[in-house]
Structure 1
Amino acid sequence: MCYPPPSMKSLIAFEATARLGSMTAAADEERATQPTISQRIRALEETLGLPLFDRQGGRLVLTPLGERFYREMAPNLKAIREACERVIHQGARPSPSVSIAAGAGFTHLCLLPLLPTLKQAFPTLTFKLVTVDRADDPELQAADIAIRFGPYIPQEEAVLLAKEAVFPVCSPDYAHSQGLTGTLTTAQLSRLALLHQDIKDPRWLDWAQWCQQAGMGLTTPRDEVFAYHNYALLLNAALAHQGVALGWSPLVKEYLASGQLVALSPCVTRDDYGYWLSVKHHRSAVIAPVSDWLIKAIG
C-alpha cells in the first residue's frame, strides 16, 4: 500500500523541535510562530499514524518511536539542506573566469608552474590558459590578459614583463663532457651539438641569428640540422645531455635555479624586445589584481 509522503515543512518543524527541545525555539529558528510549528508536527503525526512527542506533564519528550524516527531522518534532512545551499551558492555567485593567452613555451614553462599559487591567491576565480603562437592570433586579442613576445609596439598599452635575454644552456653533464665554462668561443660552437627549433617566426632568434648578434660565426650546414617541433621538446633534449640550446631567461629560469641546466655566455639582447603583458579591460576589478600579481611573480 502506498502512503502519501509527509510535507517537508512538517519534517523541518519536527527535526528542529526534537533537536532544540522546544517548539518555541524551533519557531524562532524557522522564523515561524509556535502554533504553526505545533500544527505542522500534528500534521506529521497524523500522516505517520503515531505520536512523536509525549505531551503529558507539561514537558515535550520524544516517544521511543519518535526518537527512532528523529535519528533516521535528521541526517537526511541535513544532507538535503546542505545540497540546497550548495546549489543556491553556485547558482547565485558563479566564479568569474579570467583567460590568459601566451605562447606555448611561456605557457608551459612559466604560467603552468605558477598556476597553483595563482589559484591560491585568487580562490574565487577560475583561470583559462590559452596557447597562441602567432602575434596576430585573434585569441591573443580576445584574452583578458595577453602575454606577447616581440618588439615594443608604441600603440599598444603593455607592461614589459621581462626583457629579452638569450644565452646558450645545457645540462651540467654535457658542459663537463665538453669542457664548457663561462663564455663560448666560435671554435667551441663548431664542435658542439647545437639543438635547433623549427621556428618560422622572425620574432625569435635561431642559432645563426644569435651568432650574428653575438659576433660569432656558425658553419653548421642546414641539411644536417634536426629541428625540434616546440621549445619544450628542445629543452627536454638539453636536459637529456644531447647538446646546447638557446635559452630565453624567463623560460629557463626554474631549470637554472634547480641546477638542471647551466647558462653559458655571451648573452644576446635586442632593444625593446621582450615579453609584454596587456589587459583587455584596464579598470576591471577582477582582472587588474591578477595582472598586477603576474607582473610581480614573473618580472
Structure 2
Amino acid sequence: METLSNLESFVRSAESASFSAAARRLALTPAAVSRNVAQLERNLGVRLFQRTTRGLTLTEAGERFLNSVGPGLDGIQGAIAEVTAKAGEPAGVLKVSMAPGFGRKCVLPLMPAFMARYPAVTLDVNMDNHRVDLVAGGFDAAIGGGFELAPGVVARELMPVHGVAVASPAYLEGRGAPATPADLAAFDAIVMRSPQSGRIKPWEMRNRRGDTMPADLRARVVLNDPDGICGAALMGMGVALLATTDLESHLETGALRRVLPDWYVDIGVISLYFTSQKLMPAKTRAFVDFVTAAFRERR
C-alpha cells in the first residue's frame, strides 16, 4: 500500500506542475518530493509524469490516477487538519501577499491586534502589485483583486473598490471643470497599463443614477503602477483614475481634488484568497477569520 507522503507528493506536484513548488507547500526538499514520486511510479509500474526542463506534465496514466486519488487524499488531509487545528493554537510562519498601497493603508493597521491575539504566529508579508500563485509561491493567503481561482483556491470578499478621477489643484487651475466623462478629452490623462495584458485600461464610468459612459482619454503619461500614477497626479501631470482606498489622505489635505465628483469606476472587488478550507492550518484559518471579521465590522 502506498504511503500518504508518496501520494501527497504526487498530487501536489501535479497541481503545481513543479517538484519545487510542491516541496514549498509540503515543507520538504525538492529532492525528497522527486524521490517520493519516483518510488510511487516504481510501485505502480507506470510513469506518471513527463519530466522536461520546463517542468512536469502528467502522462495519460498520471491524469487518470490524479482523478482517482485526488479527492480521497483531500478528504484524508481534511480530517487530519481538522483534528490538529482544534487541538493546537495557531502557530508558525504565515506567508501573505498583498498590494503595497492597500496593504499599508488597510491591512497592516489590523496586524498589531492579530499578532497580540496569536503570539505564536510569525507574519511574513510580501508586498507586490502583481498577482501571485498561492501554490507555486508557497503563500498561505493573498489579498487583492482579480485573482484566478485555480483548483483548490477559494476567495472571501472583503470590499468593493471604486475608482475616481483626480488631479492636483495646480493642474486644474485655469481649466474648466468637465461635466461628463466625454469632456476629459480636453485634459491630459495619466493612465494605467495592465501588468498582465500590457494594454491600457479604459475608464467605463457611471454616475449615481446608474448611467454609464466611457471616458474619452488623451493619454499623456502611461504607468503600470498605482503608486506611480498617484505620484504623477500629485506632480500636476494630468488627471488620473485612482482607487478611493489610495486617496483618503490626499483628498483630506487638498493635494488632490475630485474631477467629475458625480462619476466613478467600478474597479472590482478586493478579496482574501487561500487554499481549500478543508486543508487550512490553524494559523491560516485564524488570519482569514480575523481579517474578514475586521472588514465586515468596518463596512
Count residues in correspondence. Answer: 199
User: Larger Rg: 1 or 2?
Assistant: 1
- 138 and 123 in structure 1: CA distance in 2 versus 1, 3 angstrom threshold: closer
User: Deviations 1:55-83 (Å, cap 9, x if unpaired)?
Assistant: xxxxxxxxxxxxxxxxxxxxxxxxxxxxx
- 280 and 163 in structure 1: CA distance in 2 versus 1, 3 angstrom threshold: same
User: Deviations 1:64-123 (Å, cap 9, x if unpaired)?
Assistant: xxxxxxxxxxxxxxxxxxxxxxxxxxxxx9973211112344335544555556545555
What is residue 79 of structure 1 aligned with on the other side? none
Q: In structure 2, the residue corresponding to 1:199 is in which secondary structure?
A: coil
Larger displacement relative to structure 2 (197-206 or 286-295) = 197-206
* Greater percentage in strand: 2
User: Deviations 1:4-48 (Å, cap 9, x if unpaired)?
Assistant: xxxxxxxxxxxxxxxxxxxxxxxxxxxxxxxxxxxxxxxxxxxxx
* Greater percentage in helix: 1
Structure 1 position 245, deviation (Å): 1.4
Structure 2 contact 189–221 (Cα < 8 Å) conserved: no
Structure 1 position 227, deviation (Å): 1.8
Is it true that 1:249 corresponds to 2:244 in the alignment?
Answer: yes
Structure 1 contact 158–278 (Cα < 8 Å) conserved: yes
What is residue 210 of structure 1 aligned with on the other side? 204
- 242 and 295 in structure 1: CA distance in 2 versus 1, 3 angstrom threshold: farther
Q: In structure 1, the residue corresponding to 2:236 is in which secondary structure?
A: coil
Structure 1 contact 168–244 (Cα < 8 Å) conserved: yes
Is it true that 1:100 corresponds to 2:90 in the alignment?
Answer: no
What is residue 83 of structure 1 aligned with on the other side? none
What is residue 274 of structure 2 aligned with on the other side? 279
**Where do 5+ consecutive residues of structure 1 fail to align?**
1-92
- 205 and 227 in structure 1: CA distance in 2 versus 1, 3 angstrom threshold: closer
Aligned-pair identity (%): 19
What is residue 161 of structure 1 aligned with on the other side? 158
Q: Distance in 2 between matches of 1:193 and 1:108?
A: 29
Q: In structure 2, the residue corresponding to 1:286 is in which secondary structure?
A: helix
**Where do 5+ consecutive residues of structure 2 fail to align?**
1-88
Q: In structure 1, the residue corresponding to 2:288 is in which secondary structure?
A: helix
Q: Select 1:150's aligned residue among 142, 146, 149.
A: 146
TM (normalized to structure 1)?
Answer: 0.51
Structure 1 contact 101–139 (Cα < 8 Å) conserved: no
Q: Distance in 2 between matches of 1:204 and 1:292?
A: 36
- 136 and 289 in structure 1: CA distance in 2 versus 1, 3 angstrom threshold: closer
Structure 2 contact 168–256 (Cα < 8 Å) conserved: yes
Q: Select 2:122's aligned residue among 126, 130, 133.
A: 126
- 239 and 293 in structure 1: CA distance in 2 versus 1, 3 angstrom threshold: farther
